[in-house]
């Protein structure tokens, strides 16, 4: 531990040089692209000229921030390989569904945002509600990224938290304000490469030390007798047989259906990247390309948490306990493992990967926030008629303001036991009901504007109310999560499922009580009223549906291997 501690605060000259070069590169990209972001289409949607590969990697990188790296490594230490569900069943089917089913409507409608689609489908009240809730969620999520970065700098380098937050955050604000979404996308592709280059150190060296996969499993079983941390599905027949205290229904329905489909198909943070694609085929292929890479991410995110269970000579504790006792929390898994294995040069590369992850996630949040604020709140309700240059200027200032406001939310994270419990709670509040509204809007032409609004409102309010109920009365957990043994993550999954059901039921009931829109008003927005371009004239291997099937087949194979 003394050796680890000495390396946690030690950076050599080559390490510092790597970090400085990285900061110079991302700022350089921002200044270089400033001249190509003069119009609203350029600033907010990168001119809609990204290839499928660039859009796909950016689509994934916007999600692969320091929050992902830090948070899911911590979740893997808490819950074992069950955390992988958030990368496989909790991502792949939804990403493929977005590419094959939903992208035609987002792209054909030429909307700037998901709230913009709701305005076309359900009217201004639904857009206003979704835009405000998305803005709140995005600012809170940005705070998580800031906290993650500050934690890395504190644990690994001993840097002051305030210094870490302000330097990294202002760098993001500068390059996104200068180059808009185009700058964010190009930096996200660069950051994706750096994240992999830096994060590979831990799983490779860690597996060597543990004696391979079998050696790691044996060590975990010796350290945590009675708990199975290394099987995906075989322990989920009962609430008490797995570290998460969850039944397979919570994973399949709460995560695999509601949370996953809600995030990947309606969270504008990721959908915005796909909307920047140069044509419809590229827009459909981008999520499929992202899904293929997503299946590999657990190797650099989940595996370090499992290796920590096997190798670390001490046990980690929840964040609140760590603050009270001075111990190490779950959230420090990745920094501790990085300090254990990385020497000069490698340490700089690893720190740069985490900084890149922070900036990637932060840039995704602020660029999406700027777009939704400018188009769906400011332009819709404050100043409807203004020159395009005015909205671009508003987007730039909103980027800086969003970063400053997000700094204030970073301290909320310490109220939760781990970063990902906090994130999944936010998703259950805002993303789960939004998915119900968007899904019915796209697939059911009978859904009415009143139904869409009241369903979304009922789902959001009910989710927050269920969370508050459990906070005030812990015994309510048995009703929300179907078991008194459930832990925070399991509660989030079931709460998301219930609020999605409430949203759908209210939408259907209110829609049957109100007058539907004429089909002429639904063209380009709803299945059955829209001519979707087909790809039957393309060779089979050029069709998005073919590659979606290939990725889906690999996904099923992984479930069997790690059953």
Give 329-383 pLDDT, tens digit per residue.
777 788 788 777 776 667 777 777 777 767 666 777 777 777 778 877 788 777 8
pLDDT at 416 exceeding the cut of 60: no
**Mean pLDDT for the stretch of residues 136-155:** 72
For the domain spanning 2-416+539-561, the CATH number is 1.20.1730.10
pLDDT of residue 498: 93
Q: Please give the C-alpha separations between residue 520 and each of 115, 463, 515, 528, 533, in angstroms, as whole numbers.
A: 21, 35, 15, 11, 18
Q: Which residue has the higher pLDDT, 317 or 101?
A: 101
The helix or strand, by DSSP H or E, that contains position 267, with its residue range, turns out to be none
Contact (CB, 8 A) for 370 and 178: no
CA–CA dist 510, 444 (Å, integer): 14
The dihedral sign for the CA sequence 307, 308, 309, 311: positive
Burial of 274 (0-12, 13-18, 19+ CB in 10 A): buried
CA–CA dist 455, 445 (Å, integer): 15
pLDDT at 454 exceeding the cut of 90: yes
pLDDT of residue 320: 65
CA–CA dist 512, 87 (Å, integer): 37
Q: Which residue, among 177, 40, 134, 131, has the nearest Cα to 380 in the 3D structure?
A: 131
| 3-state SS track over 316-373 | CECHHHHHHHCCCEHHHHHHHHHHHHCCCCHHHHHHHHHHHHHHHHHHHHHHHHHHHH
Please report which confidence band the pLDDT of residue 411 belongs to, taking 50, 70 and 90 as the band edges: low
Contact (CB, 8 A) for 348 and 11: yes
CA–CA dist 66, 194 (Å, integer): 12
Adjacent-strand bridge partners of 277: 50
Q: Determine if the pTM surpasses 0.85.
A: no
**Mean pLDDT for the stretch of residues 209-235:** 82
Dihedral angle at the C-alpha atoms of 176, 181, 187, 189, nearest 10 degrees? Answer: 160
DSSP string for 405-422: HHHHHGGGGGGSSSHHHH
């Amino acid at each position: 531990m003394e050796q680890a501690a000495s390396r946690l605060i030690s950076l050599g000259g080559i390490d510092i040089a790597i970090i400085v070069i990285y900061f110079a590169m991302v700022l350089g990209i921002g200044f270089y692209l400033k001249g190509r972001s003069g119009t609203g289409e350029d600033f907010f949607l990168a001119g809609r000229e990204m290839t499928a590969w660039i859009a796909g990697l950016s689509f994934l990188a916007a999600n692969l921030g320091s929050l992902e790296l830090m948070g899911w490594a911590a979740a893997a230490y808490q819950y074992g390989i069950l955390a992988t569900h958030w990368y496989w069943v909790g991502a792949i089917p939804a990403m493929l569904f977005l590419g094959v089913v939903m992208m035609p409507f987002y792209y054909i409608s030429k909307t700037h945002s998901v709230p913009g689609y709701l305005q076309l489908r359900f009217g201004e009240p639904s857009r206003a509600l979704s835009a405000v809730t998305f803005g709140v969620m995005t600012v809170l999520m940005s705070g998580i990224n800031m906290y993650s970065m500050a934690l890395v700098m504190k644990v690994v380098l001993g840097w002051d938290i305030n210094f870490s937050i302000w330097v990294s955050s202002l760098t993001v604000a500068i390059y996104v304000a200068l180059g808009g979404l185009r700058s964010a996308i190009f930096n996200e592709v660069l950051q994706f490469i750096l994240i992999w280059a830096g994060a590979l150190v831990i799983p490779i060296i860690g597996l060597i030390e543990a004696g391979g996969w079998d050696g790691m499993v044996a060590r975990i079983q010796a350290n945590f007798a009675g708990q199975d941390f290394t099987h995906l599905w075989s322990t989920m027949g009962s609430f008490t047989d797995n570290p998460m205290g969850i039944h397979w229904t919570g994973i399949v329905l709460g995560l695999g259906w509601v949370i996953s489909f809600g995030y990947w198909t309606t969270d504008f943070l990721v959908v915005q990247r796909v909307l920047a694609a140069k044509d419809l085929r590229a827009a459909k292929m981008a999520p499929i390309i992202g899904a293929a890479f997503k299946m590999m991410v657990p190797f650099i995110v989940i595996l370090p948490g499992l290796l920590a269970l096997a190798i670390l000579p001490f046990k980690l504790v929840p964040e609140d306990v760590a603050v009270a006792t001075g111990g190490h929390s779950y959230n420090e898994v990745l920094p501790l493992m990085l300090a254990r294995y990385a020497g000069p040069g490698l340490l700089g590369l690893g720190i740069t990967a985490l900084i890149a992850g922070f900036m990637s996630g932060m840039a995704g949040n602020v660029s999406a926030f700027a777009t939704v604020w400018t188009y769906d709140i400011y332009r819709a309700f404050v100043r409807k008629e203004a020159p395009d240059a005015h909205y671009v200027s508003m987007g730039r200032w909103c980027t800086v303001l969003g970063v400053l406001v997000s700094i204030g939310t970073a301290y909320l994270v310490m109220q939760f036991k781990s970063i990902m419990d906090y994130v999944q709670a936010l998703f259950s509040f805002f993303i789960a009901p939004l998915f119900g509204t968007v899904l019915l809007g796209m697939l059911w032409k009978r859904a009415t504007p009143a139904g869409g609004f009241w369903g979304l409102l009922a789902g959001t309010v009910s989710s927050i109310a269920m969370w508050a109920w459990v906070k005030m009365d812990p015994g309510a957990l048995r009703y929300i999560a179907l078991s008194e043994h459930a832990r925070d993550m399991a509660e989030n999954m079931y709460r998301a499922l219930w609020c999605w059901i409430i949203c759908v039921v209210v939408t259907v009931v209110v829609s049957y009580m109100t007058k539907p829109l004429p089909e002429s008003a639904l063209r380009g927005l709803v299945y059955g009223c829209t001519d979707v371009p087909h790809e039957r004239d393309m060779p089979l291997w050029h069709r998005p549906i073919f590659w979606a099937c290939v990725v889906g087949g690999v996904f099923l194979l992984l479930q069997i291997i790690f059953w």
